C-alpha cells in the first residue's frame, strides 16, 4: 500500500462505475443524478466579465483585488446580514473543496489534534484531517445542535469544528437557535468553527442562516469563519470561485500561508466573481429552474415508493426505500437513472440515496417518466 493510499479513504465514486454502465445502456440514455454539477449556462454578465479581463499577463494577488473584496463585503452584508465587515474579514479561495481539503494543514494541525464534522457529510472534511495527520471525528447533527455538550466531542483535543448548513447530502438546515448554542459552546472551549454554507442561496422549505449573522455571533466574528462558493448559485463550478469570511486573525494567518503557497485566484475569475456577486437576477432565474426540477423529481420519487427526509435546502433530495442504498442504486440503474449511494457520506447513510436535481429539464422529465412506469 502506498503512503498516499494509507492516508486517504478509498475514492468512493469508482464504486459507482458498474451501475453507471447499466444506466447508460438504457435505450433512451442515462439520466445522471449522482453528481451535483451545474449543467445550465454561465450567466452572460459573468462570461462578459471573464473575457473582459482575459488580457491579464501579471500575477494576481492572493487577497484579491479591492473590487473583489468590496463585492464580497457587499454580498455578506446584503445577503447574510453580516455587520462590521472589513477587507481583513475576507479571503478569496480557489474553489471551496481546495479550502476544505487543505485547511487543517494550513492551520498547522497534526497528530493529537481532532477535526470534527457531521456523521453524514461531504467526504472532504475527513480527507482534510487525514492529510495533516489529525484525527477525524464525527458528531450527530441533531444531538450536537440541541446540546453541544452532550455530543461526546473532546474540547481539549478538538481544534477545528466543521458545520455544514445547508447540508450536503441531507439538505438539513441548522436553525438560528441551534447555531447560537453551537457557537457559544465552541467559543467557551476555544474551538475554531468553520461553517460550510456553500448552498446558502438554495433554501426551499427553510431559510438558511449564517454563523456571521449578528443574532448568531453577537456581532463578533471571533472564532468563526463561513465558507461560500459561486459554483451552485451562479453555475461557476468550472471557474473555481469561492471565498471565506470571518475572524480577521484566522484569515490573516491563512493569507500569509497562501501567499507562500501561491494560492491565487486567476485574475479573470476574480473579475467574473465581482460581476456574479453584483447581480441577483441570474440567481433568481436559476432558483426557478432548480425549484421546478426539485418539485417534479420529489413527486415522482414519492409516487415510486420513496420517502424523502430533510431536503429543505441544497441541490439534493435525501431519499430512501428502507433498503440498502446499493439495492436502491441498482434498482434505479435498471431504469437508466444514476444516483449517489448514501454510504458515500458516512455509514449513517447506508439506507439512503442522494438524488441531485442538477440535470437538464429534458433529463429530469425523462427520469420522472421512467419513475412513473
pLDDT of residue 13: 79
> Where does a domain end: 258, 277, 296?
277
CA separation for the pair 225, 269 (Å, rounded) = 22
Q: Which residues contact 18 (CB under 8 A, 6 or more apart)?
A: none
Q: Please give the average per-residue pLDDT across 15-29, as a whole number.
A: 96
pLDDT of residue 100: 98
Q: Are residues 157 and 220 in the same domain?
A: yes
Q: Are residues 27 and 68 in the same domain?
A: no
pLDDT band at 14 (very low <50, low <70, confident <90, very high): confident
Task: Indicate if the pLDDT at residue 73 is higher than 50.
Answer: yes
Of 97, 98, 134, 102, the C-alpha closest to 115 is 134
Q: What is the pLDDT of residues 173-208, one digit of tens each?
A: 999 999 999 999 999 999 999 999 999 999 999 999
CA separation for the pair 315, 201 (Å, rounded) = 10
Q: Are residues 167 and 108 in the same domain?
A: yes
CA separation for the pair 70, 93 (Å, rounded) = 15
pLDDT band at 86 (very low <50, low <70, confident <90, very high): very high
Q: What is the CA radius of gyration of the chain?
A: 20
Q: Which residues pair with 203 in a beta bridge?
A: 313
DSSP assignment string, 279-343: --HHHHHHHHHHHHHHHHHHHHHHHTT-EEES-SBSSEEEEE-SS-HHHHHHHHHHTTEE-EEGG
Buried b (16+ CB within 10 A) or exposed e, 81-115: ebeebebebbbbbbbbbebbbbbbbbbebeeebbb
pLDDT of residue 5: 53
Question: Quick one: which H or E segment has residue 116?
Answer: strand 114-118
Q: Are residues 159 and 306 in the same domain?
A: no
User: Hey, CA dihedral for 248, 251, 253, 255, is it positive or negative?
Assistant: negative
Q: What is the pLDDT of residues 323-332, one digit of tens each?
A: 999 999 999 9
> Where does a domain end: 226, 257, 277?
277
Q: Are residues 188 and 316 in the same domain?
A: no
Question: Which CATH number characterizes residue 213's domain?
Answer: 3.40.640.10
Q: Are residues 252 and 325 in the same domain?
A: no
CA separation for the pair 343, 351 (Å, rounded) = 8
pLDDT of residue 1: 44
> Where does a domain end: 219, 246, 277?
277
Q: Please give the average per-residue pLDDT across 279-298, as a whole number.
A: 98
What total number of domains does the chain contain?
2
Q: What is the DSSP letter of 234?
A: S
pLDDT band at 4 (very low <50, low <70, confident <90, very high): low
Tell me the pTM.
Answer: 0.95
pLDDT of residue 134: 97
CA separation for the pair 121, 89 (Å, rounded) = 26
CA separation for the pair 4, 200 (Å, rounded) = 33
Q: Are residues 245 and 316 in the same domain?
A: no
Q: Which residues pair with 194 in a beta bridge?
A: 162, 225
Q: What is the residue-averaged pLDDT of the chain? A: 96
Contact 49, 272 (CB under 8 A): yes
Cβ neighbourhood burial of 9 (10 Å; 0-12, 13-18, 19+): exposed
pLDDT of residue 93: 98
pLDDT of residue 2: 52
Of 239, 190, 209, the C-alpha closest to 68 is 239
pLDDT band at 3 (very low <50, low <70, confident <90, very high): low
pLDDT band at 287 (very low <50, low <70, confident <90, very high): very high
CA separation for the pair 174, 180 (Å, rounded) = 10
Cβ neighbourhood burial of 260 (10 Å; 0-12, 13-18, 19+): exposed
Q: Are residues 351 and 235 in the same domain?
A: no
Cell numbers at 292, concatenated: 421546478
Helices (H) and strands (E) in the chain, counts: 14, 13
Of 237, 233, 242, the C-alpha closest to 64 is 242
Q: Are residues 18 and 79 in the same domain?
A: no
Q: Grid coordinates 473579475 are at which residue?
A: 271
CA separation for the pair 186, 182 (Å, rounded) = 6
CA separation for the pair 61, 155 (Å, rounded) = 36
Q: Are residues 207 and 333 in the same domain?
A: no
Cβ neighbourhood burial of 8 (10 Å; 0-12, 13-18, 19+): middle
Q: Are residues 173 and 208 in the same domain?
A: yes
Q: What is the pLDDT of residues 120-172, one digit of tens each?
A: 999 999 999 999 999 999 999 999 999 999 989 999 999 999 999 999 999 99
Q: Looking at the chain, how many residues does it have?
A: 373
**Domain range enclosing 316:** 3-41+282-372
Question: Which CATH number characterizes residue 368's domain?
Answer: 3.90.1150.10
Q: Are residues 221 and 129 in the same domain?
A: yes
Cell numbers at 144, concatenated: 450536537
Amino acid at each position: 500500500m502506498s503512503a498516499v493510499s494509507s492516508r486517504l479513504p478509498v475514492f468512493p465514486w469508482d464504486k459507482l462505475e458498474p451501475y453507471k454502465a447499466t444506466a447508460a445502456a438504457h435505450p433512451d440514455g442515462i439520466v445522471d443524478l449522482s453528481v451535483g454539477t451545474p449543467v445550465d449556462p454561465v450567466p452572460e454578465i459573468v462570461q462578459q466579465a471573464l473575457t473582459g479581463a482575459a488580457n491579464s499577463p501579471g500575477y494576481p494577488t492572493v487577497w484579491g483585488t479591492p473590487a473583489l473584496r468590496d463585492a464580497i463585503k457587499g454580498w455578506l452584508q446584503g445577503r447574510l446580514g453580516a455587520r462590521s465587515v472589513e477587507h481583513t474579514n475576507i479571503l478569496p479561495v480557489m474553489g471551496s473543496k481546495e479550502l476544505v481539503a487543505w485547511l487543517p494543514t494550513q492551520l498547522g494541525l497534526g497528530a493529537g489534534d481532532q477535526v470534527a464534522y457531521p456523521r453524514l457529510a461531504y467526504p472532504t472534511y475527513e480527507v482534510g484531517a487525514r492529510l495533516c495527520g489529525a484525527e477525524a471525528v464525527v458528531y450527530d447533527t441533531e444531538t450536537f445542535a440541541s446540546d453541544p455538550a452532550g455530543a461526546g466531542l473532546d474540547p481539549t483535543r478538538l481544534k477545528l469544528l466543521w458545520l455544514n448548513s445547508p447540508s450536503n447530502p441531507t439538505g438539513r438546515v441548522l436553525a438560528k437557535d441551534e447555531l447560537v448554542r453551537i457557537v457559544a459552546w465552541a467559543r467557551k472551549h476555544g474551538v475554531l468553527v468553520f461553517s460550510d454554507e456553500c448552498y446558502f442561496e438554495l433554501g426551499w422549505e427553510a431559510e438558511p442562516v449564517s454563523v456571521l449573522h449578528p443574532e448568531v455571533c453577537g456581532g463578533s466574528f471571533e472564532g468563526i469563519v463561513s465558507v461560500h462558493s459561486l459554483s451552485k448559485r451562479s453555475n461557476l463550478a468550472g471557474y473555481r470561485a469561492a471565498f471565506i469570511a470571518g475572524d480577521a486573525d484566522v484569515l490573516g494567518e491563512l493569507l500569509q500561508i497562501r501567499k507562500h503557497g501561491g494560492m491565487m485566484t486567476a485574475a479573470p475569475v476574480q473579475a467574473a466573481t465581482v460581476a456574479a456577486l453584483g447581480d441577483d437576477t441570474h440567481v433568481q432565474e436559476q432558483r426557478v429552474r432548480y425549484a421546478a426540477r426539485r418539485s417534479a423529481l420529489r413527486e415522482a420519487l414519492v409516487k415510486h415508493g420513496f420517502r424523502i427526509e430533510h431536503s429543505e435546502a441544497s441541490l439534493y433530495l435525501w431519499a430512501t426505500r428502507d433498503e440498502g442504498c446499493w439495492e436502491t442504486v441498482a434498482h434505479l440503474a435498471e431504469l437508466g437513472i444514476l444516483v449517489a449511494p448514501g454510504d458515500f457520506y458516512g455509514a449513517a447513510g447506508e439506507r439512503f440515496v442522494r438524488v441531485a436535481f442538477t440535470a437538464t429539464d429534458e433529463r429530469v422529465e425523462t427520469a420522472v417518466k421512467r419513475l412513473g412506469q
